[in-house]
Chain A
Amino acid sequence: MLRRGLWLLGWIALAALSAPLGYAVWVSFSPDSFLTPPTTNWSPRWYIAFVADRRWTFALVRSLFVGCGSALVAVLTGTPLALAVTRYRFAGRGLLAVTTLLPACVPAAVLAMGLLPLLYLAGLWGNVLGLILAHGLLGLPVVYLIVQTQLEQMPPNLEAAARGLGASRWQATVRVTLPLLRPAILAGAAAALALSFNESMLAIFLATPTTETLPAVIWPQLRYAPSPLVAVASCVSVALAAGMVLLLSLLGVKLC
């Protein structure tokens, strides 16, 4: 009896966690301009409006571009770092490992207030490159952690075996380690892409009219005048996230 009750409570809690998401999706099919969820009269009206509005579509494309770019940055920096930290002992190793996790720990407002003058002074304000690098920084700890975990679970004697068979250290890495790391790298890239695509904290600090990402367009509307368009934009990002999860599970990657 008590057990039953606890299970019910658990499912209710899980449902409550997904409720805001579900509700946003529901509202996006509203036929009128009010934020009322449709019951009988489902309409794609706001999806059509979304596609027709260049500000939204440009932001969507830009978000995807920035996402791919920053995922690339995160993978190219995070993977070699994970290799260095797990496979070598060198001066500054501990410090580097800790610093790598900092982007996930420093409050977004603090980081943003440093990045803002930096991009301003470096002439990257209003340039997508600045955004790609900033998002890449946020993706770095994610890729690093995922790849590092995989590396630690890998039997260390695999590389030794490859060396024993005549492969150089470099060959062992390229022919044995990297292929084995592929699922982890892909998972890291997907996570970094999702993170960048939906990045909303830096967005409200760093966005300029020429670098507006999807969240940057959503947020002022959300604050001052929410419309079903916001719900549609939300759905697009949910669909992308769901696609990402599906992709990951198809790749056979465990999320934790």
Chain B
Amino acid sequence: MNRSPTPYLLATPAGVLLVGLLIGPLVLLLRVSLYEPSGGRGFFVPHTWTLTNYATVTDAYGLRLLGFTVAFAVTVATLSVALGYPLALFVRAMRSPWQQLALAGVLLPKLASLFVLLFGLQQLLGEAGPLQQFLLATGVIATPLRLVRSWWGAVVAEVVLILPYVVLVLGVQLGRIEPTWEAAARGLGASSLQVFARLTLPLSLPGLALAGQLALMWGMGALLGPLLLGGPEQTTLSVEIHRQAFEYGRWPRAAALAVLLAGSVGLVVFTFRSLFGLLLGKH
């Protein structure tokens, strides 16, 4: 172990930032969740300790919120990975200039504001939007569908937000697979399908695990998709936190919900990793 002070000096700025703006706030979050909610003035009652906030977030309503959030996250993560994996394979198979173009196409929306995407989606999927108009005009559907302010609207929005990251993570993992390995497998008599099943898929499993975990994590924290393209029933924990803090000014309850959310993200990720580990163990 190095006794020189250099590494500590180098790590100090980041350490200060992390402690001050990450660890500090998370501790404060716990403290705020233990204040009594204020009756009207201020956001909480100082110098009080109470567990009532936790009682109100673990009642039937709170648990229903949690259940919805988990179901939403699982749906979003499944769709993101199911769509992102073939897309990453597709981008990988491209020749040089096209590959850069495709990657830029995947990344550009990510660098632009999320609101741009959500705004575009709102307009595209809305009842007056081109998609529905097209479907109506061609007679595929008889009456307008409820795509905005609905479950599917929220899911589609969140998938669009998460998908680029999934493609990126999987792309990095697929990039580690040498093309000569696949050529060698073909030469040894494996068909394209066999090459995929025996080589490409097993070698991309670590990337799939990581992408799945990230998608689950972000799906659990989903806020903008449900808020802007979901309806009143599409309330995730994050949406409820926002509502408690800003519509009702009840910071302690919002903080308690945030603690619940953080805990459940950890639990979901842990469960996912265990299940994935079991799956790999069998492999």
> In the complex, is A directly touching B at CB under 8 Å?
yes
Q: What residues of chain A have their CB less than 8 Å away from a CB belonging to chain B?
A: 6-7, 10, 13-14, 17-24, 27, 35, 37, 73, 76-78, 80-81, 83-85, 87-91, 93, 96, 99-100, 102-103, 105-111, 113-118, 120-121, 133-134, 136-137, 140, 144, 169, 194, 197-198, 200-201, 204-205, 214-215, 218-219, 222-223, 226, 230-231, 233-235, 237-238, 240-242, 244-245, 255-256
Main secondary structure of the interface of A (DSSP, over half): helix
B13–A238 CB distance below 8 A: no
Let me know if B8 is at the binding interface, CB within 8 A. yes
**How far is the CB of B9 from the nearest CB of chain A, in Å?**
8
CB within 8 A of A113: which of B8, B13, B258? Answer: B258
Give the A-B contact count at a CB cut-off of 8 A. 263
B25 touches A118 (CB 8 A): yes
Binding site for A on B (CB under 8 A): 1-2, 4, 6-18, 20-29, 32, 43, 83, 86-87, 90-91, 102-109, 111-124, 130, 160, 163-164, 168, 171-172, 175, 217-218, 220-221, 223-224, 227-228, 237-238, 241-242, 245-246, 251, 254-255, 258-259, 261-262, 265
* Residues on B with beta carbons closer than 8 Å to the beta carbon of A241: 108, 111-112
A114 lies within 8 A of B2 (CB): no
B28 — which chain A residues lie within 8 A by C-beta? 114, 117-118, 121
Whether B262 and A116, one on each chain, are in contact in the complex, defined by CB atoms closer than 8 angstroms, is no
**Mostly helix, strand, loop or mixed at chain B's interface?**
helix
- Is the pair A90, B115 in contact by a Cβ cutoff of 8 Å? no
The CA of A83 and the CA of B160, in the complex, are separated in Å by 35
Report the 3 A-B pairs with minimum CB-CB distance, sorted nearest first. Answer: A20-B120, A114-B25, A107-B221
Residues of B contacting A110 with CB < 8 Å?
A: 26, 29, 221, 241, 258-259, 261-262
Chain A CB count within 10 A is highest, among B43, B123, B124, B175, for B123
CB distance A226 to B116 under 8 Å?
Answer: no
Q: Quick one: given A90-B2, A113-B29, are A102 and B22 in contact (CB under 8 Å)?
A: yes
Cα of A244 to Cα of B107 in the assembled complex, Å: 11
Q: How far is the CA of A131 from the CA of B252 in the complex (A)?
A: 22
Alpha-carbon distance between A76 and B17 when the two chains are bound, in angstroms? 11
Residue pair A107, B116 in contact (C-beta under 8 Å): no
In the complex, the chain A residue whose C-beta lies closest to that of B240 is A109
A18 touches B26 (CB 8 A): no
Q: Which of B26, B113, B120, B163 contacts A200 (CB 8 A)?
A: B113
A222 to B24 Cα, complex, angstroms: 32
Q: Report yes or no: B238 in contact with A109, Cβ–Cβ below 8 A.
A: yes
Instruction: Flag if A84 contacts B160 (CB, 8 Å).
Output: no
Residues of chain B within 8 A (CB-CB) of A78 are 14
A13 vs B84: C-alpha distance in the bound complex, in angstroms?
10
A215 to B160, CA, bound (A): 18
Q: With A89-B1, A234-B112 known to touch, is A116 a contact of B251 (CB < 8 Å)? A: yes
Chain A proximity of B253: nearest CB distance (Å): 10
